[in-house]
Structure 1
Amino acid sequence: MDGTPGDRRSAVLTVAQAVLSLAAVLAAYYLLPLDSSFSVATVGVLVAGVALVGLLIAWQVRTIMHSARPGLRAVAAVAATLPFFVLMFAATYYLLGRSEPASFTETLTRTDALYFTMTVFSTVGFGDISPRTELARLLTTGQMTANFLLIGVAARFLLGAVQEGRRLRELEARGGERGGPPAPP
C-alpha cells in the first residue's frame, strides 16, 4: 500500500469486514439453538466443517493471488476463516459437555467451551478446564492437529498467495511499461 486514499479506504473496509464477520459468527454461536445431544452426526458436522475451512482457504488463495491488494485480501481471509474454525470446535465441546457432563473437569457453558477452545488453539492450556473422557481427549487432539494444519499449512498457502499476487501485480505493471502493446500515436 502506498498510502493513497483508496488504500486507506480498502484497509478500513477490510477491518470493518473482519469485525462484522466475527460479530456474525459469534452471534450465531450464542443465538443458534445448540440443544441437540452429542452424536456421531456432531462429529460428522465437525469434520465437514473442517473440510469446508480447507476448501474456503483454497478458494481464498485463488482470490488473494488475483486481488489488487493481496495483503489486505489475506487479512480478510484469516478474519473470515479463523473465527468459524474456532467456534465449530467450541460448539462441539459445548454439545459434548451437555450430553456427557463427565467429559470435562467442569460443566461447560457456551463461554466456557469457547474459552477452552481458545486455550487449546493458542496452546496455552491453563488446565482449569481439561478433557476427562477418551472421546473428549480425542476431539481435543483432533483440534490440536487441525490447529497445526491451519496455522502451518494454511498460513504458508496464504502467505504464498500474497507473494504470488504481488509478483503478478509487478509483472502487470512492468508489462504495461515495457512489453505491452505500443502506445497509440
Structure 2
Amino acid sequence: MSGSRHDEDGFGVGRRAAAASLSRAALAATLLVVGYFLVPLERADPATWTWLAIALTVWAVVCVRQVLAVISSPTPRLRVVEALGLTVPLLLVVFALTYAALGRVDAAAFTEPLDRMDALYFTVTVFATVGLGDIAPVSTTARVVTTLQMVLGLIAVGLIARVLFGAASLASQRRDSEHPKPEER
C-alpha cells in the first residue's frame, strides 16, 4: 500500500503515528532529565539504600505497566518505542540521583566529587559500558551501587527489550487473529 499508511509488519501504521510515538518517547526522556535536575538534594542523608530500593520498585512497576500497555495497544511496536523511551531514562535517572546523593553523603565515594551533571555522566558511561575511567567508584557502597546498575543495565537492555518486543509480537498476533487481512488474489 502506498502513502503514509503501512501494515504493522512494516513497523508502523503511518508516518504520523510513528512521529507521535517518537515524540512521546523523547518528551518522556526530556521530562525525566529535566526533573532530575530539579529534584532537591539539599538534605542528602545516609538513607540512600532506602531511596534506591523504593525507586527501583517504582521502576519495576513502571516496566510491568509498560509491558501491559504494549500488549493491549493497537500499535504494539510503536508502543514499545514509547515504553523504552520511558523505562530506560527512568532507570538512568534513578541511578544518577543515587550517585549524586552518595557523593553528597561521602565526598570520597568516587574518584572526584560528583555534581548532578557528573552523576548523570557517570551513570550513562556505566550503562553504555564505556567506562572511561575518569570517574570511578571508590567506596564499597558506591561500588555496590555501580555493580547493581551494571546488572540492571544488562537486564534492561536484554530482558526488558525482549519482553517488550515479545509483548508487541503477541499483541500483533492477537490483532491479526481478530482482524484477518483479506487474502491477496
Range class of TM-score, shorter chain: 0.7 to 0.9
CA distance in 1 between partners of 2:61 and 2:104 (Å): 30
The count of aligned residue pairs is 176
**Mapping of 1:6-17 within 5 angstroms?**
7-17=14-24
Match of residue 94, structure 1, among 95, 100, 112: 100
- Which of 110, 115, 120 aligns to 1:114? It is 120
The structure that has the greater radius of gyration is 1
CA distance in structure 2 between the aligned counterparts of 1:98 and 1:19, rounded to whole angstroms: 30
Q: Report the equivalent of 1:71.
A: 77
Deviation at 1:156, TM superposition (A): 1.5
The 2-side partners of 1:16 and 1:150 are apart by 21
Query: Which has a greater percent of helix?
Result: 1
Residue segments in structure 2 that go unaligned for 5+ positions in a row? 7-12
Cα distance in 2 for partners of 1:18, 1:166 equals: 21
Q: Counterpart of 1:81?
A: 87
* Contact kept in structure 2, 1:119 and 1:125, CA below 8 Å: yes
Give the one of 132, 142, 158 matched to 2:148. Answer: 142
8 Å contact kept, 1:35–1:95:
no
| Aligned mates of 2:39, 2:62 — CA distance in 1 | 22
Alpha-carbon shift at residue 177 of structure 1 (Å):
6.3
Q: Aligned partners of 2:30 and 2:71: how far apart in 1?
A: 27
Secondary structure at 1:112 match in 2 = helix
Shift of 1:84: 1.1
Identity value in percent: 37
- Equivalent residue number for residue 162 of structure 1: 168
Q: Is the 8 A contact 1:97 1:107 kept in 2?
A: yes
Residue 11 of structure 1 aligns to which amino acid in structure 2?
A: A
The alignment status of 1:51 with 2:52, answered yes or no, reads: no
2:111 corresponds, among 88, 92, 105, to 105
Counterpart among 115, 124, 129 of residue 130 in structure 2: 124
- Residue matched to 1:172: 178
Q: Deviations over 1:130-184 (max 9, x none)?
A: 001111101111111111221222112111101101111111122x869xxxxxx
